Amino acid sequence: MSAFLFAIAVFISALVVEFLLLRGFTAVATSTSPSTASVFTATAAPSGVVRALGRLAMPSSPTGIKGLQSDLVQAGLRGANTLTIYLAMRTALALALPLAGYFFVGKLGTVPAVAVLLGLAAAGYFLPALVVGVLAEQRRGRIRRVFPNALDMLVNCLESGLGIDAALRYAARELTAVAPELASEFDSLNAELQAGLTRQEALLHMRDRIGVADVDAFVGVLTQAERYGVGVAESMRGHAKMSRRRRVLDAERRAAEAAPKLTVAMVLFILPPLFIVLIGPTAIRLIHGVIPMLQNR
């Protein structure tokens, strides 16, 4: 019993640590302005234990570090210490889950026990990456849904006489309530432009932070229009039509995929209970009535 209680205590401790770290992740993910993220970074610097755990899982190559940072940024997790906290979560789970499972695999034998412990370690290590991937995909989906409407707003601003920079500032201000992620990206774009970066560099940075195909095409349209002197409003209007058409096609694709998915759910979860309700009483009557009569004969 003591081993069982110890394992439970270790597991609860790991959950508490993960919860505290996840609170920091949530604070960064829900921030809608760079100032909020900077406040979190300044007031919630990681401790020495967190930094030590993060160094254990730190990739050795700069390319790997840059890839992890890109994944975190696309998930909406920003800040100078976000990568350290994320790697510390992976290390903590990879160590805590096998430690908690050690006390339950003693009767399995050496080889199965080692396999289970390695599986728990792998699950703990890759679980934060799975969570980050889900957060990134959800964020990309939210941006993808509102981006055609944002393009229409930019086109109206450009046709009314505003420049591209002023149109981006207006769109960022008006989209804050309905699309905070996209508004935050426009704010970051405007901040980089004011800091002295060229428009092409700032647009490329925004493309890398979002990771949506429509935004990639939008950046390409602006870059080509600026390079060849084409009207920006006209080019963006055509791109907005294509983005809206792409969104309609995506909705039609999801609607077409709904029928096979519903069929699988119906076969697995609806038909068996239905058969039990319909055939169950008859089967019970047969068991209690017909079978004893046959045995008496």
Instruction: Indicate which CATH number applies to the domain containing 235.
Output: 1.20.81
Distance, first Cα to last Cα, the chain: 56
Calculate the dihedral angle through the C-alpha atoms of 92, 98, 99, 102, rounding to the nearest 10 degrees. 180
221 three-state secondary structure: helix
Both 11 and 77 in one domain: the answer is yes
> Which ranges of the chain have pLDDT less than 70?
1-47, 54, 106-107, 229-230, 291, 294-297
Decide if 262 is inside a domain.
Answer: no
Residue 3: the pLDDT is 53
State residue 5's pLDDT score. 46
In a domain? residue 212: yes
Question: What's the pTM value of the predicted model, to 2 decimals?
Answer: 0.68
Phi-psi region of 31 (alpha: psi -120 to 50; beta: other; left: phi over 0): beta
Domain membership of residue 171 as a residue range: 143-248
Residue 199 sits in the same domain as residue 130: no
Same domain, 156 and 70: no
Q: Give the tokens for residue 79.
A: 């800040």
In-domain check, residue 166: yes
- Looking at the structure of the chain, the number of domains it has is 2
- Which of 119, 139, 159 marks a domain boundary? 139
179 in the same domain as 119: no
Q: What pLDDT score does 238 carry?
A: 77
Question: Would you say 171 and 186 are in contact if contact means Cβ atoms under 8 Å apart?
Answer: yes
| Final residue in a domain of this structure, among 206, 225, 248 | 248
Residues 127 and 184 in one domain: no
Asked if residue 267 is part of any domain, the answer here is no
For residues 22 and 125, membership in a common domain is answered with yes
Q: For residue 236, is it within any domain?
A: yes
Co-location of 133 and 147 in the same domain: no
Instruction: Tell me the chain's radius of gyration from C-alpha atoms.
Output: 28
CA-wise closest residue to 93 among 114, 71, 122, 65 = 122
Same domain, 120 and 13: yes
Measured on CA atoms in the order 39, 41, 42, 43, is the torsion positive or negative?
positive
pLDDT at residue 14 in the model = 59
